[in-house]
Amino acid sequence: MFLVIDVIKGVQTQTAECLVIGELLIPKMIVVLNKIDQLPEEDRPKVLASKVDALRKVFARSKFGAGVPIVPISAGTATSPSQNVDILIQTVLSQINVPQRNDKGPFFFMIDHCFPLKGQGSVVTGTVIQGSTRIGDEVDFPQIGAVSYTHLTLPTIYSV
């Protein structure tokens, strides 16, 4: 989860509300301290250090702890280039937890959407949780009341 905080305004009511929701629902958080380009350039390092220190004290009282990643950035404008976006990307990549999937077990597919396509049958989208399948395999979707087997076609496959 990203928690984006305006460096000028700091922690606001909605920031605290998002932090509470994050503590309930997610294991990891990245704090994005945005709009650093609005700080005077000559004072920027000192102000950023002060803001990051204050935020670490706030997060020390949360499940994320004082060591939560805090990335100061500027998304950029037409007149000002973005700053530290590459650092944010590297932070995200270091925090991602790619789940291990068992591709040898029975095929389990979590359905996101199911809708009819005139002349084609039903289109089902979702995520493979376990197992694997190939184009032309028959797959049964009992949870949507499919009595017969459905021919599966996989036009696009994304892998992580």
115 band by pLDDT with thresholds 50, 70 and 90: confident
Is the Cβ–Cβ distance between 33 and 48 less than 8 Å? yes
| pLDDT, tens digit (0-9, with 9 covering 90-100), for 20-34 | 999 998 899 999 999
Report which of 12, 14, 84 is spatially closest to residue 44, judged by C-alpha positions.
84
Among 22-31, 82-91, 125-134, the range of highest mean pLDDT = 22-31
Does residue 65 register a pLDDT over 80? yes
**Residue 48 phi, psi dihedral angles, 5° rounding:** -60, -45
